[in-house]
Amino acid sequence: MKPSSEFFKDGASLRVTGKLVEYSVETAIAIIVDGNVNLKIDTQHLRELSIRIGSIYQFIGELLVQSDNEATLQARVGRNVDGIDLNLYHQSLQLLRQFQADHLNKRTN
């Protein structure tokens, strides 16, 4: 995740999806990748989650941004989503955000 992202805020609750490319058993830190963006995930609270390098995972948690702008998602929920259609996911997400924004605009006008 890049600091220029609108979601790059300390404490922000986020849901992230990506391919798990690295995992440290000692620290329980995983790295997921989506396109050319990667993000560190702290999985220490997800003891029941079975980790498999190369699988697609979705995590929900809070973003911890350190002073050097290094971000880690403190995951409280995680699941393997192998089989997800990522193209459909990204396109649907755009529609969802637009739909939600339209509804909020309608309500405030």
Partner 1 sequence: MNQRQRLSLYHTHIKLLGFDLNSLNQNSSSSSSDAVSFSRNGYAVSCTEIVGVVVSHDLKPNRFLKFSVDDGTACVGCILWLNHLTSPYFASRHQPDVRIMGNMATHFASQIRVGIVVRVRGKFSSYRGVVQITVSDVVVEDDPNAEILHWLDSMRLALKCYDLSPAPT
CB-CB contact of 20 with 54 (8 Å): yes
Complex with partner 1: residue 69 or 87, whichever CB lies closer: 87
Using CB under 8 A, which of 32, 46, 71, 73 touches partner 1? 46
Amino acid at the residue 107: R
In the complex, least distance from residue 70 CB atom to partner 1, rounded to whole angstroms: 26
Collapsed DSSP state (helix, strand, coil) of residue 5? coil
Scan for tokens 């990667």, then name that residue: 38
Question: Which residues here bind partner 1, judged by CB under 8 A?
Answer: 15, 46, 48-49, 56, 58, 60, 76-79, 81-85, 88-89, 92-93, 95-96, 99-100, 103, 107
